[in-house]
Structure 1
Amino acid sequence: MAQAPIGSSEFDRDTAVVPRAAGTHDVRVSAGWTLFGAANGGYLLATAARALGDTLPHPHPHPFTITAHYLSVTRPGPAVVRSQVVRTGRTLSTGQASLFQTAPDGTETERLRVLATYGDLDALDGDIRTTAKPPSIPPYEHCVGGTPEGFGDDGFLSRIDLRLDPATAGWAVGRPGGGSEMRGWFGFADGRDPDPYSLLLAADALPPTPFDLGMSGWVPTVELTVHLRRRPAPGPLRISVVTRNLASGFLEEDGEIWDAEDRLVAQSRQLARLRDRT
């Protein structure tokens, strides 16, 4: 497969932002990144992050920590992102952004709101002291590919290369393992290498953990926070997501993303809600 360079891939085109005025960017939410007709939360986060990054001072090009609250379902179509600088400093800058869509009657609805602090990942030194270890996942070719039954057949899964650890993918063949973890390899279908913005997409790319508990349904994200720790090396990412508590229809998912050089490049936590699709 030919590799799509960063900047020219479908992900880059579909998260592109067009400046309209200071702090205002026009975007088009692509149908190619939807599940069950709703835009994927990580895709929306990456789009809003590009607009906010374009508004903040350029010496700070990368989100270090970013939190999104998903206020209503985002559908494919035009949208606008309005961003505001909250604070600028020598090392970090903070801002907020909101994505809005307008109905045919002219009513504007806020879909998500983002608060983030940006810096320069390339300026970080190499001092790392950690007890974290990469997840144990079988080789890429021994993992489960394709579109698992019950995970949707919309455009999103055709644009990523997702290979699930068989130990956490029994639900896809009608044999849920009863665990509370998802693990797998992540890449782009067009071969694009990961960068900081694609880590935001990867943080919301795995199937929901309740699936392996035998619980099906729609699991929309209420809130998602991603911490970016360093720029990822070229090659596929390894992702693990764990849930420790599912209560009253709400669950948390704690995620780690590791690059091809066994470095922890991002961490995430989200609150999600388990709902019937009907």
Structure 2
Amino acid sequence: MHEFDTAMQLRDEGDGTWSGAFHDDWAIGNAINGGVVMALGLTALGRHLEADPAEANRHVDPVVISAYFMTASLGGACRVETQTLRCGRRLSTGQVSVVQEGPDGAPVERMRALASFGNLDTVDTTRQSDPPDLPPPDQCLSSDLAPPDFLNHSAFLDRVDLRLDPDTAGWAMGRPSMRGVMQGWLRLKDGREPDSTMLLWALDAFPPVAFDLGIYGWAPTLEFTGHVRRRPEPGWLRVVISSDTLTGELMEEDARIWDSAGHLVAQSRQLCSVRTQPTG
């Protein structure tokens, strides 16, 4: 079993409740990557909707999610609570909440989201933005080249094959471009091919675009809205993230993903909190 699928394992506890666990292998620092948290929640919600007697249209693909992150998820057991809100002809919508036990034993809600599922078996693209013109992966900068101390505190990067376009990676050498753009290639190291649920993880898998603005502190996600446009073809994903606005300690981060066939397969916008001021 691939590592991503192991991380998505859940046990049905009945009545819309599922039990799972976050593995430290998917942590950045002390916190579990937010994309992994969303993917686990969507996995549970998708199974819940599929089992609902009213859900007769095989809505198996997440199409849109709006997620709020209250507190950082930590390694260890978690509970996922799911609820059906509406089953329609084209989309079925539900709510999902990810909960962990706090230090005092009381439940702590980590993330709550509304999401709609549909069926992306056959999707015709009428209009889309073009994929970025990137150097081939072997001419881009691998995350394996990050300083050893950073890699030791980011087990998440051991799961990911991430290659940054050198033109947008100056921040890694202390020379941020201040344009607020980062782009490159992405796949999982163990060869697991992308699917519609994994795309929501991929939208949150790059380093924060704040790094290219000279802001190197933690940039936690407050709210995330993601759209899946079609199922991806096997192979590398092309990813572009950008930000235009920084006000106070809040900034937006926009992401777009194209598959190996050049299809725009997912896009998102998230609101992030930044903890330091730009250095450039």
**In structure 2, distance between residues paired with 1:193 and 1:16:** 17
Structure 1 residues 275 and 94: alpha-carbon distance in aligned structure 2, compared to 1, 3 A threshold:
same
The answer to whether 1:132 aligns with 2:125 is: no
Contact 1:57/1:88 (CA < 8 Å) preserved in 2? no
Residue 209 of structure 1 is matched in structure 2 by 209
Residue 164 of structure 1 is matched in structure 2 by 164
**In structure 2, distance between residues paired with 1:105 and 1:269:** 34
**In structure 1, distance between residues paired with 2:90 and 2:145:** 42
Cα displacement (A) at 1:20: 0.7
**In structure 2, distance between residues paired with 1:116 and 1:26:** 19
**In structure 2, distance between residues paired with 1:185 and 1:87:** 37
Structure 1 residues 131 and 117: alpha-carbon distance in aligned structure 2, compared to 1, 3 A threshold:
closer
**In structure 2, distance between residues paired with 1:247 and 1:151:** 28
Q: Which residue identity does 2:146 align to in structure 1?
A: P
Q: Which residue identity does 2:114 align to in structure 1?
A: L
**In structure 2, distance between residues paired with 1:252 and 1:61:** 29
Q: Which residue identity does 2:108 align to in structure 1?
A: T
**In structure 2, distance between residues paired with 1:147 and 1:25:** 38
Residue 10 of structure 1 is matched in structure 2 by 3
**In structure 2, distance between residues paired with 1:183 and 1:104:** 39
Cα displacement (A) at 1:22: 2.4
Cα displacement (A) at 1:106: 2.3
Which of these residues, 18, 21, 44, is aligned with residue 28 of structure 1? 21
Cα displacement (A) at 1:173: 1.5
Count of paired positions: 267
Which of these residues, 131, 141, 145, is aligned with residue 144 of structure 1? 141
The answer to whether 1:232 aligns with 2:228 is: no
Contact 1:203/1:268 (CA < 8 Å) preserved in 2? yes
Structure 1 residues 230 and 268: alpha-carbon distance in aligned structure 2, compared to 1, 3 A threshold:
same
Contact 2:250/2:274 (CA < 8 Å) preserved in 1? yes
Q: Which residue identity does 1:250 align to in structure 2?
A: L
The answer to whether 1:71 aligns with 2:74 is: no
The answer to whether 1:114 aligns with 2:107 is: no
**In structure 2, distance between residues paired with 1:273 and 1:103:** 23
SS of structure 2 residue aligned to 1:210: helix
SS of structure 1 residue aligned to 2:6: helix
**In structure 2, distance between residues paired with 1:125 and 1:241:** 24
SS of structure 2 residue aligned to 1:191: coil
Residue 96 of structure 1 is matched in structure 2 by 95
Residue 48 of structure 2 is matched in structure 1 by 55
Q: Which residue identity does 1:275 align to in structure 2?
A: R
SS of structure 2 residue aligned to 1:217: coil
Q: Which residue identity does 1:26 align to in structure 2?
A: S
Contact 2:21/2:77 (CA < 8 Å) preserved in 1? yes
Structure 1 residues 131 and 154: alpha-carbon distance in aligned structure 2, compared to 1, 3 A threshold:
closer
**In structure 1, distance between residues paired with 2:45 and 2:171:** 38
Contact 1:22/1:55 (CA < 8 Å) preserved in 2? no
- What's the C-alpha RMSD, in Å, of the aligned pairs? 1.4
Contact 1:220/1:274 (CA < 8 Å) preserved in 2? yes
Structure 1 residues 63 and 131: alpha-carbon distance in aligned structure 2, compared to 1, 3 A threshold:
closer
SS of structure 2 residue aligned to 1:190: coil
Contact 2:123/2:230 (CA < 8 Å) preserved in 1? no
The answer to whether 1:266 aligns with 2:266 is: yes
TM-score (norm. length: structure 1): 0.92
Any unmatched runs of 5+ in structure 2? 52-57
Cα displacement (A) at 1:147: 4.9
Contact 2:140/2:166 (CA < 8 Å) preserved in 1? yes
TM-score (norm. length: structure 2): 0.92
SS of structure 1 residue aligned to 2:80: strand
The answer to whether 1:83 aligns with 2:82 is: yes
**In structure 2, distance between residues paired with 1:30 and 1:129:** 40
Runs of 4+ in structure 1 off by over 6 angstroms are none
Contact 2:128/2:264 (CA < 8 Å) preserved in 1? no
SS of structure 1 residue aligned to 2:50: coil
**In structure 1, distance between residues paired with 2:169 and 2:271:** 22
Contact 1:57/1:93 (CA < 8 Å) preserved in 2? no
Cα displacement (A) at 1:167: 0.8
